Homo-oligomer: A and B are copies of this chain.
């Protein structure tokens, strides 16, 4: 039985193997992703983000166990954008997710990719598709921080849960400003600590100032949790369910936005690497780098020049489209 069939049957080893393939090989193995794509779109995806040290992993652990009361197979994906070089998984996850990792109904994986801009978000999309096709539902996607990469990753989620904790120092205002727009549900974790009430109140005040979404719009709310002993988890799970119910009312719109965002990202990375490949082979890459270093060319004009040479080099030749640019074409000398 091949990898795809085993994966579609829910086999955990096949799922793990497939995720390794999309994580390691960028661009992703096309045949694998194409084969499973028709079987996707069933799972509910919950993104969990927030700054370091707020207890996200423990909270995800508790949520996974809570969802298992009503779902046969739950997926957890811990995305690690902090380590583009090591390619390693988030250390310590196994420890903090001890409870849910003992349950064979919960599939846990860390994800990291080396290299290119956008690569991690694309790999996350592929890994979610693989989990989805293998029957994992819901899928919890955890990521550290609130930078651009994390925002891109959260595009894959139907619901975004933002986790904060009291006493996070000076940068908390900046963090809040960055994640207010992407969060649907907010948890103030470690709610037994000093300052929890203030953090929750500040957050509520900031949310109250956000533009009104009108009738039928979603109003984010703040839940206090103590993930370590499970307090607040039932309330949090209920609020996530509420958002999922709300999401149904505009699921078609969300699906189009999600597909457009992912296509946009994929196009950018694909055509960028195609152009770079051509430029390196033709020697124009080195030429442009030399000119930039020698201050004869700035990077913007360098990119424009490369693109214009590329488009004049007949790059469409050999493409499948039968029309245009073919008759009487001659190669660049």
Residues of chain A having any CB pair with chain B under 8 Å: 27-28, 30, 33-34, 37-38, 40-41, 51-55, 57-58, 80-86, 88, 90-92, 96, 117-118, 120, 122, 125, 129, 144-152, 168-175, 177-182, 252, 255-256, 259-260, 262-276, 279, 285, 288-289, 292-293, 295-304, 306-316, 319-321, 323-325, 327-333
Contact = CB atoms under 8 A, between A and B. Distances in A.
Nearest to A315: B311
A30 B300 contact: yes
A301 B34 CA distance: 8
A307 B52 CA distance: 39
20 contacts: A27-B300, A33-B298, A33-B300, A34-B300, A38-B295, A51-B53, A52-B172, A53-B170, A81-B148, A82-B145, A82-B175, A92-B174, A117-B265, A266-B302, A267-B279, A268-B271, A271-B307, A308-B319, A312-B321, A328-B329
Given A58-B170, A259-B289, 6 more contacts: A84-B178, A91-B173, A122-B299, A270-B303, A312-B321, A323-B332
Contacts of A270: 300, 303-304, 307
A310 B271 CA distance: 10
A311 B303 contact: no
A333 B321 CA distance: 12
A329 to B, nearest CB: 6
B147 A88 contact: no
A316 B316 CA distance: 11
Contact of A323 (B118, B171, B271, B312): B312
Contacts of A264: 272, 276
A328 B331 contact: no
B275 A148 contact: no
Contacts of A54: 169
B327 A319 contact: no
A69 to B, nearest CB: 26
Contacts of A266: 299-300, 302-303
Given A171-B53, A330-B324, A295 B91 contact: no
Contacts of A181: 85-86
Nearest to A323: B332
A181 B87 CA distance: 11
A174 to B, nearest CB: 5
A105 to B, nearest CB: 25
Contacts of A321: 308-309, 312
Contacts of A149: 147-149
Given A92-B174, A263-B299, A169 B319 contact: no
Contacts of A53: 51, 168-172
Interface centre among A144, A182, A298 (most CB of B within 10 A): A298
A260 B275 contact: no
